[in-house]
Structure 1
Amino acid sequence: MGKTFHDDLRLELSLTAGGTSFSIPGGQIKHLSVQLASHGFTAAVTFWTSLEKQDAPLFIAFQKPELIQVRVSIAAEDPELTSPPAPLVLKGLVRSRRLVAEEHGTVQGAERVFRRYTLEFADAAQVLWRQHRPIELHTNTSMKELLEAHKASLQLALDWTELKRKLPMICLALGADEPGVSFYDYVCWYVDAHQGVFSYDSQKNEYLFADSKPSSGQAAPLGPLRVHRTRVLLPPPIRHGARVLNAVAQGPTTTPIDQPQAVQGTFHDVLVRTPLANRADDREKLEKTRLKLHQRQLQVAFKRYPTVDVFPGALLRLEGSLWPASLTGLDEDMRVAELDFEAHAEGAGPYEQQQDFRAPYAVRMSLRLESSSEAAVALPAYRVPRYPIHVEGLVHSPGGEPEDRRYLIVEDEKTSITDYRMTVPLWNKTVSVPAEPTHMPGQFFFPPYKRTRVLVALHHERAELLRFLAWKEGVRTPQSGQGDQILLGESKSSQTALTHDFQEDKPVWRMFRTSGGDTQVIRMGEGNLFIQVKETEASKTPTPTYDVTPQVEAAKGDLSAAVGDSLGQTSAAFQGAMAASRAKMQSAQTAMKATMKAARAEVGAKVAAARSGMQGASSKLSQSSGQLSAASESAKASLKKLR
């Protein structure tokens, strides 16, 4: 740390526990050590007490588990200084405490003791956030809102553009499992990942999140008379470049990022997979900032208490004729990056200077200085959060009855990327996952139906569908038949089932279609083929009208809440519904080909009318089987007229 020197210091120590404050005279402080960096501090203090009756409230409070707040002020008592620097003030929370009693005689037969208290304390973020390990899911929020929600008693200055950006989702995965990542680790990881600034102002007891380091202020002149030694610290050069690899199949790219000191052929590769060029460009810019070379630093050790402010963030300037002319950093504005301070009372016994507010100390003190133009940020060592975490979700598709088997595919109008929606009941939040075939090849189209139970992987800012956890109602076949089944359609009353099972140890295949009271069955068994078209009068559903405005408006409001009023998304869903409607119409025409020739014109007219009525709808209509049923009923009525 440097040379030990002797100075009179005025130390002030106050403790607050359980709402009660205790002031400790500076002469009782026998040892104080501080390691103060740009991101926070750790410290330890030891003091004696001898007046047991007066000390009783502190002794009682010290043994309780209540949180103890510590305030320490350090100032030099130097008559040579006409305008001394402001006291160095630290405010923190106790991490650990120790208490030792030492006898010093008896009074009226009762033993009397000195009590030696030792406290280890740190800034509030290290104490509280290192024990804070939440698991949460947030949607449509910003990092600024997240930090505000988790700041506890901390004072935050959130002056970083990145924090204000609204994100579709943010997942905190900081639970009690290994590797024990805390919210403090998460904050440092996020700042490092986005090349921001996280710093602590000890004088204000405030944490700053910003795009860059503060550069305002006037540098104070620092002469050599109180400096014992200066050293130049040279950071290790970066010997690698970088490459950003985009592994998307439609247009893979490899973008090299040069770095002047890199050895040819040495890279740090970053792998991304995104079809969006702007996201790959953003990652390239981020990786380029990581390759900035650190500037050299100065380490200054003192032989007297300095005459200028020395807390991290303060600006100093080594100037004056007494400095060597060739000194590195001379006449440059330097920023204090780190302070090491340790003081041992020269009168270390419990009897000495118990009630004095100043005392002589053996002090060691040094600073680490960086150029005021240094952009690199020094962060504490941290653990990287582990992603993803796995939670259960339910497929979200608005509209219809609760048990309907509808699906929703949403297309982003800006990126043309399609997504499913998944509701995570644990937090009652809905997230987007890519609409991909998942575990099936691309020639199969089986989108997940609403309220299907699924396993969702939550990353920090995205989610993905891993697998399905349950069959929909009615899909499973009895164990005895050893059957397989595919169930298509939106509900029990409007669906098509393809079933293969064994009856009397003989394979049987069936296709069963139903739409209200209208059913068709094709059955193939041992030596027979059965085809049936049946209509049950009692089961007929009322013929719907072609005015779908109420349904459209209801679906529109429901969909807007889920996807944020995206007209492009609803338009895509509308086109999908129309395609399904046309497919069903063609199937019905094929089944009744021999009897519907004369009525085809009338059916076509009704279909055209239905399409015309639906053109004004801007919402997703996932199924149109009701309109198909109406058209079929009308067609049959027309056939009866022809007979």
Structure 2
Amino acid sequence: MSFVDRVKIGLVLKLGSEEVTIPAGNIKRVSVAAHGHGFSATVEWWMVSQQDASEDKLFAHFIKQEPAEVSLTLARAHAAEGITAEPLVLPGRVTGRRVRERAFKDVKDGPVLHRRYQVRFADAVTVLWGQHFPSGIWVEQSLQEVFKAQAPPGVKLAFQWEGTEAKQPLHALGLGAEGNTASFLDFVHWLQARENAGLFFSPATGEYALRDKKPEGGKPVPLPRRDVATVEVVLPEPGRAQVSVLNSYVEAGTRKKELENAVKVEGVKHEYLLTSPLEGDLTQRATVEGKRHHPAEPELRVRFKRYPSMTLALNGLYEFAAGWSTKLYTQGKQYRLYGLFIEARAKSADAATDLGDADNVYELDVKASLELASDATFRRPAFRAPRWPFLAEGLVVSEVGEDAERTYQAKQDDKTSLEYYRVKLPLWEEKEVLMPYEPHQQPGHFYFPADKGTRVLLAFDFRAVRLERFLAWRPGAKLPKESQGNHLLLGKKPESETSIQHVYQDAKPLMRIQRTSDKDTQLIEVAEGRLKMLVTQKK
């Protein structure tokens, strides 16, 4: 449902050191899709040179590749009686540019006197985090520290998300790994979907808040009846699954926890599977899943019949007060604005019409999506899930013995009593991560811990790491290829070790066991037709 109204629109372009203001009279088309977490927009306008092409000061800067910032302002041309309204201001960064030139044959040398410009832009986080693909490791740091390390210059982050405060043993991001298509922005929405949180953008302050509860919104603004064409109530269908959390850990005290769902259908299940030796992990996951699967409350779709006369504020609260029927479903309820969609086309598309005017007559379509203020359901855009695990190399650390000794060490966690290897990561400033002290690919009756300096390939999940495989032979373990042999090398160093070899000499098998301890050497050698035992001591 479209309508015609006079609107005051302003566009400010900042291209490097140059700042250009475009008035409403020049602007012929505006398209805005704003959400609680950010926005995207497109604006088209004419620049007209009356006598000489050099009058267009914008073009030389517009075609450069330097970053461009934009601020779009929309407001009614005439304030409604009794209502004080603030304009809608959307600050952002350019994501696309176009320009169409019009030359005139009847003018000498056909100079370009008309140019129709177009910019596509979005809020700063959508633009910059959407192109951000970091790969990094954070040890004993909070999620807040991870986010702040990724904040572009000028972007303000606020946190009302309890889960981001505690320090974690590990945060790992491999968004630059081959095969990953998820950006840091995708990661943020993925993580918040998993942990039941949301991202909220305030255009007025330019602040982004990461929250585990919806913003309060302040005092609700009355929605004028004379502005509205239709109000539609949308009733979301609740989930019908029996939600459960399962723990496959063999020695788990609790293997399954079911969550309440009064409207479930028998036989329909949503089972979240984890494997953890910690009982608290299952309890914590069950709490989060209970919030994630809480049914959404009814919401509204509002279409306007004139440009709204009240302040339009993303994540702001609104109510249906004076002028509305007391019998309507919306009466007595407060709603939060989480979606705003504006399409505006100038009644006159001619380049020379209304030039320089502060307002213009547009054919408009304005729609809003509102949710109940009590609705705890988080809304977010579609996103790509980041790819885990990703692989990176490290070196096993041990402080036992001397530097040259191939010792091993297990570090015990004071809180959980679990044991871990320490692994150093040369790529990330020699940071150390904790890898489970487990048999890994070996059967349990083999006890061969990874020793100091062992080069290993690690598989990183978001908050965990495991051994993928070993990458190099131990010094002294590799045999000449001609021997076609096998070798088991045990011990700390060449002066204190045991070597067990099976090789071929003259195409016949030979087994050799040699123990070395400083100057003492004992050797057992079994070959075709002979058994050799030798004990030596060097002087």
Q: How does the TM-score come out when normalised to structure 1?
A: 0.80
For the residues of structure 2 that align with 1:433 and 1:80, how far apart are their CA atoms? 65
Q: Which residue of 2 aligns with 1:292?
A: 294
Q: Which residue of 2 aligns with 1:136?
A: 136
**1:19 corresponds to which letter in structure 2?**
S
For the residues of structure 1 that align with 2:507 and 2:360, how far apart are their CA atoms? 100
Aligned 8 A contact 2:392 2:459 in 1: yes
The structure 2 residue matched to 1:487, chosen from 483, 486, 489, is 489
Question: What CA deviation, in whole Å up to 9, does each residue of 1:517-545 have, x standing for no partner?
Answer: 122223333444333333222xxxxxxxx
Question: What CA deviation, in whole Å up to 9, does each residue of 1:251-300 have, x standing for no partner?
Answer: 36122222112111211111111111011111111111111010001111
**1:434 corresponds to which letter in structure 2?**
P
For the residues of structure 1 that align with 2:380 and 2:55, how far apart are their CA atoms? 40
Question: What CA deviation, in whole Å up to 9, does each residue of 1:109-131 have, x standing for no partner?
Answer: 65352111011111111111111
Aligned 8 A contact 1:34 1:41 in 2: yes
Q: SS state of the match for residue 189, structure 1?
A: helix
For the residues of structure 2 that align with 1:149 and 1:273, how far apart are their CA atoms? 30
Q: Which residue of 2 aligns with 1:4?
A: 2
**1:15 corresponds to which letter in structure 2?**
L
What is the Cα deviation at residue 107 of structure 1? 5.1
Q: SS state of the match for residue 180, structure 1?
A: coil
Q: Which residue of 1 aligns with 2:171?
A: 170
Instruction: Please state if 1:75 is matched with 2:75.
Output: yes
Question: What CA deviation, in whole Å up to 9, does each residue of 1:348-377 have, x standing for no partner?
Answer: 211111011122222221211111111111
For the residues of structure 2 that align with 1:502 and 1:300, how far apart are their CA atoms? 85
Equivalent pairs counted in the alignment come to 534
Q: SS state of the match for residue 300, structure 2?
A: strand
For the residues of structure 2 that align with 1:481 and 1:104, how far apart are their CA atoms? 86
- The structure-2 alpha-carbon separation of the partners of 1:94 and 1:55, relative to structure 1 and needing over 3 Å to count, comes to farther
Aligned 8 A contact 2:67 2:94 in 1: yes
**1:151 corresponds to which letter in structure 2?**
A
Q: Which residue of 2 aligns with 1:269?
A: 271
What is the Cα deviation at residue 63 of structure 1? 0.9
Q: Which residue of 2 aligns with 1:567?
A: none
Aligned 8 A contact 1:311 1:339 in 2: no
- The structure-2 alpha-carbon separation of the partners of 1:109 and 1:135, relative to structure 1 and needing over 3 Å to count, comes to closer
Instruction: Please state if 1:184 is matched with 2:185.
Output: yes
Q: Give 1 or 2: higher strand fraction.
A: 2
Question: What CA deviation, in whole Å up to 9, does each residue of 1:179-218 have, x standing for no partner?
Answer: 5111110111111111112111121122111121111410
What is the Cα deviation at residue 437 of structure 1? 1.0
Note the residue ranges of structure 1 that are not aligned, 5 or more in a row.
538-643
For the residues of structure 2 that align with 1:27 and 1:177, how far apart are their CA atoms? 49
- The structure-2 alpha-carbon separation of the partners of 1:176 and 1:393, relative to structure 1 and needing over 3 Å to count, comes to closer
What is the Cα deviation at residue 399 of structure 1? 4.8
For the residues of structure 2 that align with 1:507 and 1:72, how far apart are their CA atoms? 83
Higher relative contact order (CA 8 A, sep 6+): 2
Q: Which residue of 1 aligns with 2:126?
A: 126
Alignment of 1:48-127 (within 5 A): 48-51=46-49, 53=53, 55-104=55-104, 106=106, 110-127=110-127
Instruction: Please state if 1:350 is matched with 2:348.
Output: no
Which stretch of the first structure deviates more once superposed, 30-39 or 94-103? 94-103
For the residues of structure 1 that align with 2:136 and 2:178, how far apart are their CA atoms? 15
Q: Which residue of 2 aligns with 1:209?
A: 210
Q: Which residue of 1 aligns with 2:223?
A: 222
Runs of 4+ in 1 over 6 A off after TM superposition: none
**2:232 corresponds to which letter in structure 1?**
R
The structure 1 residue matched to 2:466, chosen from 443, 464, 467, is 464
Q: Which residue of 2 aligns with 1:514?
A: 516
Which stretch of the first structure deviates more once superposed, 108-117 or 308-317? 108-117
Q: Which residue of 2 aligns with 1:338?
A: 339
Which stretch of the first structure deviates more once superposed, 417-426 or 30-39? 417-426
What is the Cα deviation at residue 104 of structure 1? 5.0
What is the Cα deviation at residue 31 of structure 1? 1.1
What is the Cα deviation at residue 401 of structure 1? 4.3
For the residues of structure 2 that align with 1:400 and 1:391, how far apart are their CA atoms? 27
Alignment of 1:367-406 (within 5 A): 367-406=368-407
What is the Cα deviation at residue 70 of structure 1? 0.6
Which protein shows a greater Rg? 1
- The structure-2 alpha-carbon separation of the partners of 1:509 and 1:89, relative to structure 1 and needing over 3 Å to count, comes to same
What is the Cα deviation at residue 248 of structure 1? 0.9
Aligned 8 A contact 1:50 1:114 in 2: yes
Q: Which residue of 2 aligns with 1:150?
A: 150
Work out the percentage of aligned pairs sharing the same amino acid. Answer: 34
**2:405 corresponds to which letter in structure 1?**
D
Alignment of 1:292-311 (within 5 A): 292-311=294-313
For the residues of structure 2 that align with 1:522 and 1:103, how far apart are their CA atoms? 96
For the residues of structure 2 that align with 1:487 and 1:432, how far apart are their CA atoms? 26
Which stretch of the first structure deviates more once superposed, 54-63 or 346-355? 54-63
Which stretch of the first structure deviates more once superposed, 476-485 or 107-116? 107-116
For the residues of structure 1 that align with 2:14 and 2:516, how far apart are their CA atoms? 75
Aligned 8 A contact 2:47 2:56 in 1: no
Aligned 8 A contact 1:393 1:425 in 2: yes
Aligned 8 A contact 1:44 1:118 in 2: yes
Q: SS state of the match for residue 26, structure 1?
A: coil
What is the Cα deviation at residue 410 of structure 1? 1.3
- The structure-2 alpha-carbon separation of the partners of 1:495 and 1:111, relative to structure 1 and needing over 3 Å to count, comes to closer
Q: SS state of the match for residue 131, structure 2?
A: coil
What is the Cα deviation at residue 347 of structure 1? 2.5
For the residues of structure 2 that align with 1:85 and 1:113, how far apart are their CA atoms? 38
**1:65 corresponds to which letter in structure 2?**
Q
Q: SS state of the match for residue 27, structure 1?
A: coil
What is the Cα deviation at residue 50 of structure 1? 0.8
- The structure-2 alpha-carbon separation of the partners of 1:219 and 1:524, relative to structure 1 and needing over 3 Å to count, comes to same
What is the Cα deviation at residue 5 of structure 1? 2.2
What is the Cα deviation at residue 413 of structure 1? 2.0
What is the Cα deviation at residue 82 of structure 1? 4.2
For the residues of structure 1 that align with 2:284 and 2:346, how far apart are their CA atoms? 55
What is the Cα deviation at residue 415 of structure 1? 0.9
Q: Which residue of 2 aligns with 1:617?
A: none
For the residues of structure 2 that align with 1:450 and 1:214, how far apart are their CA atoms? 51
Question: What CA deviation, in whole Å up to 9, does each residue of 1:80-113 have, x standing for no partner?
Answer: 4344310100001111111112235655565352
Q: Which residue of 1 aligns with 2:260?
A: 258
Q: Which residue of 1 aligns with 2:247?
A: 246
- The structure-2 alpha-carbon separation of the partners of 1:391 and 1:112, relative to structure 1 and needing over 3 Å to count, comes to closer
Aligned 8 A contact 1:501 1:507 in 2: yes
Q: SS state of the match for residue 426, structure 1?
A: helix
For the residues of structure 2 that align with 1:373 and 1:148, how far apart are their CA atoms? 30
Which stretch of the first structure deviates more once superposed, 54-63 or 94-103? 54-63
**2:212 corresponds to which letter in structure 1?**
D
For the residues of structure 1 that align with 2:464 and 2:22, how far apart are their CA atoms? 52
Q: Which residue of 2 aligns with 1:588?
A: none
Question: What CA deviation, in whole Å up to 9, does each residue of 1:535-557 have, x standing for no partner?
Answer: 222xxxxxxxxxxxxxxxxxxxx
Q: Which residue of 1 aligns with 2:27?
A: 29
The structure 2 residue matched to 1:434, chosen from 436, 455, 458, is 436
- The structure-2 alpha-carbon separation of the partners of 1:178 and 1:487, relative to structure 1 and needing over 3 Å to count, comes to closer
- The structure-2 alpha-carbon separation of the partners of 1:453 and 1:4, relative to structure 1 and needing over 3 Å to count, comes to same
Aligned 8 A contact 1:49 1:55 in 2: no
Q: SS state of the match for residue 387, structure 2?
A: coil
Q: SS state of the match for residue 4, structure 2?
A: strand
For the residues of structure 1 that align with 2:485 and 2:105, how far apart are their CA atoms? 92
**2:95 corresponds to which letter in structure 1?**
R
- The structure-2 alpha-carbon separation of the partners of 1:481 and 1:102, relative to structure 1 and needing over 3 Å to count, comes to closer
Aligned 8 A contact 1:437 1:445 in 2: yes
Q: Which residue of 2 aligns with 1:160?
A: 161
Q: Which residue of 2 aligns with 1:583?
A: none
**2:21 corresponds to which letter in structure 1?**
S
Aligned 8 A contact 1:259 1:291 in 2: no
Q: Give 1 or 2: higher helix fraction.
A: 1
Aligned 8 A contact 2:53 2:111 in 1: no
Q: How does the TM-score come out when normalised to structure 2?
A: 0.95
